[in-house]
Amino acid sequence: MIDGSPRLGVLASGAGSILGAILEAGVPVRLVVVDRPCAAEQLAESAGVEVEVVTRESFGVDFDRDAYTARVVDALKRHQIDVVAMAGFGTVLAAPIFDIYAGRILNTHPALLPSFKGWHAVRDALAAGVKVTGTTVHVTTEEVDAGPILAQEAVRVEPGDTEESLHERIKQVERRLYPETIRLFLESQSFSNHTDDNKGAATR
Ligand code: GRF
């Protein structure tokens, strides 16, 4: 923290509509990290937010997750980021980042966790035939989609819904709920006492 306000970094890979909602809500974003060329990158640039492209070179078995995670952590530290918000980031990161930023990485997931974890949450909910799904904002831990839940909201599945139509209605909720929850989280962190290298537990 530089002036007592936690510095927020956002990790994104895709369309960036959740990132756009965070920016539109006026939540100060100090850095956007992307793992590939994507619309989120252009969105951040046009909003005047600094962008680090930490290119993921491989999507195969040779992908070095630890080395990649170290590059992401390096980018976050260079920009003195205190709190990280994942917004559709397509790479699962390795354990060290969850130690360095313990309790300070947030995620929005398009389902009511602990149901429908994973990358195809909307498709899986439709396939299961549930009548209600939704969205979850949670603290991210090494185990994917499993950390403490901060906020949830239900979304009804309508007859004839496709993965796209349902996901879009869920995202409409995410675009309100995630910025609100991030803002509250940042306010709660204003009183924390992080050390210069971003390590250390919150004091309350
Ligand atoms: C959101 O539904 C989020 O929950 C999921 O990825 C989606 C990102 O959407 N993890 P966008 O790329 O910001 O539009």
pTM (predicted TM-score)? 0.91
Does 194 fall in a domain? no
107: CA distance to ligand 1 center in Å? 10
Does 204 fall in a domain? no
**Local confidence band at 199 (pLDDT 50, 70, 90 cut-offs):** very low
Q: What is the mean pLDDT of the chain?
A: 93
Which residue, by CA, sits nearest to atom 8 of ligand 1? 88
Does 43 fall in a domain? yes
Does 195 fall in a domain? no
The CATH code of the domain that includes 127 is 3.40.50.170
Which H or E element spans position 156? strand 149-156
143: domain range?
8-189
Does 202 fall in a domain? no
Number of domains in the chain: 1
Does 44 fall in a domain? yes
Q: Is 198 a residue whose pLDDT tops 90?
A: no
- Residue 48 is predicted with a pLDDT of 97
Please provide residue 8's backbone torsions phi and psi, each rounded to the nearest 5 degrees: -95, 135
Does 200 fall in a domain? no
**Local confidence band at 2 (pLDDT 50, 70, 90 cut-offs):** low
Does 196 fall in a domain? no
**DSSP codes joined into one string, 19-49:** HHHHHHTT--EEEEEESSS-HHHHHHHHTT-
**Local confidence band at 183 (pLDDT 50, 70, 90 cut-offs):** very high
Q: Is 197 a residue whose pLDDT tops 60?
A: no
Indicate if 167 belongs to the active site: no
Catalytic residue among 109, 138, 167, 194: 109
